[in-house]
Homo-oligomer: A and B are copies of this chain.
Amino acid sequence: MSLLLGEPRRSGSLAAVVDPPVRSVGTRLTARGAATRERIVLAAAELMAAKGVAATTLDDVRVASGTSKSQLYHHFAAKEELVHEVITHQAGVVLERQNQLLRGVNSFAGLRRWRDAVLQRNVLRSGAYGCDIGTLAAELSDTDEAAREALAGHFATWEQLLADAFRRMRDNGTLRPDTDPATLSVAVMAAVQGGYLLAQTAHNAEPMRVALDMALAHVKTFEASTTGL
């Protein structure tokens, strides 16, 4: 499948190549430049995840990344471009983590381990900050069409990881043959994102626990009957 966008993206150079709009045409990054670019994106990602995109100023990013104004604009044509890069970065991190957690899942026990891992992270921060992709989606969907499309794609990739797990569970007889992995994955994603939002607003991970439990119970209703039938 072509959904393996969840690569670690440590290189940075790849991101520069992927990025067509402005700059990076006839501009090769040196190792030093790439490192700076990376630092900027990392700092921006962290700030934007914590305070939101609009509330994060380029001066915040400059200070947090220990760079100067000229470096910001040397690597990104405008704040919007940096935001897009942050989206790519966060998606890479989140999807890679989800990929690790989900790729081997082919049973209810595996699914429960995934649930536990997601929940645990949320508990650690008492629900605060929400989903790194979800908060970006909520803030940008109505104002930045390119961002919206990218984020929709990342959601789709994430859903695909879930759907693959469900497909494996269907194919190995854990789930009924008539189970639709795609639909099921959308339902579970909705529960996850809703859990994130409620937990973030309540500053309490409990809603996430409830949401994930519903999601798993829902999957369970597609369990193949073990009794003969």
Contact = CB atoms under 8 A, between A and B. Distances in A.
A52 interface: yes
B197 A210 contact: no
A198 B142 contact: no
Contacts of A51: 142-143
Contact of A138 (B55, B135, B151, B190): B135
A202 interface: yes
B198 A214 contact: no
Contact of A143 (B55, B206, B207, B215): B55
Contacts of A190: 190-191, 194-195, 197-198, 207-208, 210-211, 214
Given A54-B55, A142-B200, A151-B201, A210 B183 contact: yes
Contacts of A55: 54, 143
Contacts of A218: 214, 217-218
B203 A148 contact: yes
Interface residues of A, number: 47
A128 interface: yes
A117 interface: no
A102 interface: no
Interface in A120-136: 128-130, 134-135
24 contacts: A50-B142, A51-B142, A54-B54, A141-B200, A142-B200, A151-B201, A152-B202, A155-B202, A183-B210, A186-B198, A187-B191, A187-B210, A187-B213, A189-B194, A190-B194, A190-B195, A190-B197, A190-B198, A190-B207, A193-B193, A194-B195, A194-B197, A217-B218, A221-B221
Interface of A: 50-52, 54-55, 128-130, 134-135, 137-139, 141-143, 148, 151-152, 155, 183, 186-187, 189-195, 197-198, 200-203, 206-208, 210-211, 213-215, 217-218, 221
